[in-house]
Amino acid sequence: MTPRNAPYRISRRRFIQAASIVAVTAACGRGRDVPARQAPAGAAPDVVFEEPSRQLSGDLRILLWSHFVPQHDEWFDDWATEWGEQVGVNVSVDHIDVTGIPARISSEVSASEGHDLIQFIATLSQFEPSVHPMNDLMDEANDRFGEQLGLCQKSSFNPTTENYYAYAPAWSPDPGDYRKSLWEQVDLPDGPSTWDELLEGGAQIFREQNVQMGLGLSQELDSNMYARALLWSYGGSVQDENENVTLMSDDTIAAVEYAKELFDAAMTEEVFAWNPASNNEGLISGQLSYILNSISAWRTAQESIPDIAKDIFFVPALEGPKDQMAAQHVMYNWIAPKFSTNFDAAQEFLLHYTANLARVTYESKMYDFPGYPDQVPQLDGWLDEDPFAIEGDDPSKLQPLKTALDWSTNLGHPGPASPAIGEINGTFVLPNMLARVARGKQEAEQSVEQAHQECEQIFSKWRSEGLVGGG
């Protein structure tokens, strides 16, 4: 185990809350004394104030992405500032485009100055040597809020060093988003349920209705998620549970061959140059039949093009020859760089954030799911009847997300999201592997072999630094 910084002990205490909040812990099946909050359908949950365990002061500089649901950021900025005023901390919040955050982190780490607390939407394990371990924060969070989802734990914990390099209190599922009116015309009104149906139905829609598929083959978030979902569903993986590279396999080759067939039958070359917003924009403009994404495109369409929004529905991960699995669309990693001047306030803020996950989920319009499920007992009810449904839309269309934990997993599955996995994700090894074959530049076996060697080199580098197991 690598040495930790000086231990940070937080005394145990109860939540300070308004008398109107109803404790429903017993209904959640846990015998703890942490109250969960219930709210009427459509009403915003109350904000819970977490009394810090020690006197706080100074500045807390927070950096996070510009959320795809703007309502979240409007709420978050005011809420964070108000918390700071209550505890004596000057909180400032900066938002930037999600694609710029990794480079911004690298820049700040190199300069040894910048934000005290940074949030990203994918694992930041590659920055483990440059951040404060979150072990003591995790101990306190698990004590207060119950067991963290394994999905989140594997996305923030390095079993080789036994360090939590990040804190992961929330995540987002990655369902299939499809245009019902298009799929009705190919006799699949409930959308595709398998990769075979996606190919057959998507190709027919492209051929007969001139509407293409929206699965990226570019260096961006959604292309990474597509590559992983396809790989796992065919039985392949980058690594095994012991952190040994296993990418080169017949299963991976079959998945890559499928990706080429799908591209040839149902997509155009624009998918090679997509950014994270491209599939959202294509879906809500009526130019795509199916995408792998969160619910953000649909939420945008509710406000801008309601007729399109009413036509967008969701399906779980597609079933493949070996499995039915998708990567989480978003995994919130909060890190505190070692140069942070107010680590105490950063940790207290994250505990306060976790205590208010019900409000986080609500303000994100069900985009953000809790890593501590007991904190949001309303979630199933919101998915059954969407509090933000627009007139004429089906308020129950989010119900497929109720099973998201059954078909969602972490980057690096079946192993952890190690620094090697973080670098593979950040350098887009898997979408590049698919794109080379789809473009006709390599045969599937050649491309998989190249990607396997790239992964081996990345794993060897991190293994030599004692940050990855296996070998």
Bin 428: left if φ > 0, else alpha if -120 < ψ < 50, else beta: left
pLDDT in tens, 383-436: 999 999 999 999 999 999 999 999 999 999 999 999 999 999 999 999 999 999
DSSP designation for 366: T
Closest CA to 268 of 222, 229, 214, 204: 214
Both 434 and 298 in one domain: the answer is yes
Both 73 and 157 in one domain: the answer is yes
Mean pLDDT of 268-287: 93
pLDDT in tens, 53-69: 889 999 999 999 999 99
Counting the structural domains of the chain, the total is 2
Alpha helix stretches (DSSP H) within 292-416: 296-304, 306-311, 343-355, 357-363, 379-384, 404-407
- Walk across the sheet containing 90-96 and list its strands: 90-96, 59-65, 117-120, 333-335
Pairing of β 288-292 and β 212-214: parallel
Would you say residue 117 has pLDDT above 60?
yes
Domain boundary among 376, 400, 424: 400
Domain boundary among 348, 380, 400: 400
Q: How far apart are CA 24 and CA 22, in angstroms?
A: 6
The reply to whether 233 falls in a domain is yes
Both 346 and 233 in one domain: the answer is no
pLDDT in tens, 364-380: 999 999 999 999 999 99
Both 283 and 390 in one domain: the answer is no
Contact 84, 91 (CB under 8 A): yes
Both 159 and 48 in one domain: the answer is yes
pLDDT at position 153 is: 96
pLDDT at position 9 is: 31
pLDDT band at 51, cuts 50/70/90?
confident
The reply to whether 16 falls in a domain is no
In sequence order, the 6+-apart residues with CB closer than 8 A to the CB of 210 are none
Would you say residue 13 has pLDDT above 60?
no
Residue 244's Cα: distance from chain center in Å? 24
Among 194-203, 270-279, 394-403, 450-459, the minimum mean pLDDT is found in: 270-279
Domain boundary among 400, 428, 444: 400
Both 333 and 315 in one domain: the answer is no
pLDDT in tens, 217-249: 999 989 999 999 999 999 999 999 999 999 999
DSSP 157-177: EETTTTEE-SB--EEE---EE
Both 88 and 156 in one domain: the answer is yes
Q: How far apart are CA 242 and CA 400, in angstroms?
A: 32
- Say which CATH number the domain at 357 has: 3.40.190.10
Both 239 and 378 in one domain: the answer is no
Mean pLDDT of 5-13: 31
> Taking the model in full, what pTM does it have?
0.88
pLDDT in tens, 138-153: 999 999 999 999 999 9
pLDDT band at 214, cuts 50/70/90?
very high
Closest CA to 73 of 104, 94, 100: 94
pLDDT at position 336 is: 98
Both 200 and 319 in one domain: the answer is yes
Among 47-51, 153-157, 359-363, 418-422, the minimum mean pLDDT is found in: 47-51
Please state, rounded to an integer, the average pLDDT across all residues of the chain.
90
Mean pLDDT of 263-270: 97
Both 316 and 366 in one domain: the answer is no
The reply to whether 1 falls in a domain is no
Contact 226, 214 (CB under 8 A): no
pLDDT in tens, 288-322: 999 999 999 999 999 999 999 999 999 999 999 99
CB atoms within 10 A of CB 120: 22
The reply to whether 243 falls in a domain is yes
The reply to whether 269 falls in a domain is yes
pLDDT at position 471 is: 86
The reply to whether 291 falls in a domain is yes
Q: φ, ψ for residue 78 (rounded to 5)? A: -65, -40
β-partners of residue 326 are 408
Q: How far apart are CA 425 and CA 224, in angstroms?
A: 7
Both 304 and 356 in one domain: the answer is no
pLDDT in tens, 319-338: 999 999 999 999 999 999 99
N- to C-terminal Cα separation, the chain? 18
pLDDT band at 42, cuts 50/70/90?
low
The reply to whether 384 falls in a domain is yes
Higher pLDDT, 1 or 380: 380
pLDDT band at 276, cuts 50/70/90?
confident
The reply to whether 7 falls in a domain is no
Mean pLDDT of 453-463: 98
Query: Considering the chain, what percentage of its residues have pLDDT values greater than 70?
Result: 91
Residue 233's Cα: distance from chain center in Å? 19
CB atoms within 10 A of CB 320: 23
pLDDT band at 41, cuts 50/70/90?
low
Domain extent for 95: 26-172+329-400
Both 217 and 165 in one domain: the answer is no
pLDDT at position 20 is: 27
CA distances from 471 to 140, 239, 245, 246, 459 (A): 34, 11, 9, 11, 9
